[in-house]
Amino acid sequence: MPYVTVKMFEGRTDEQKRALCEKVTAAVSETTGAPSENVVVFIEEMSKNHLSTGGVRASDQ
């Protein structure tokens, strides 16, 4: 049973997240041969002030 975690900034609509889950599931199923009903997708949303690159928060860029 494949598990996929997608980490992204908050702000996407439910429709966008639904489409993301459908496409990730299809891609994983196609490449691994796992039945789509066994593919689990987690979406972890974070605010831009919870990530930094090079010491600069994404919210400050």
Active site residues: 2
Beta strands in 1-61 (DSSP E): 3-9, 40-46, 52-53, 56-57
Structure tokens at 17: 């997240």
What is the C-alpha separation between 25 and 39, in angstroms, rounded? Answer: 6
> What tokens were used for 11?
């702000």
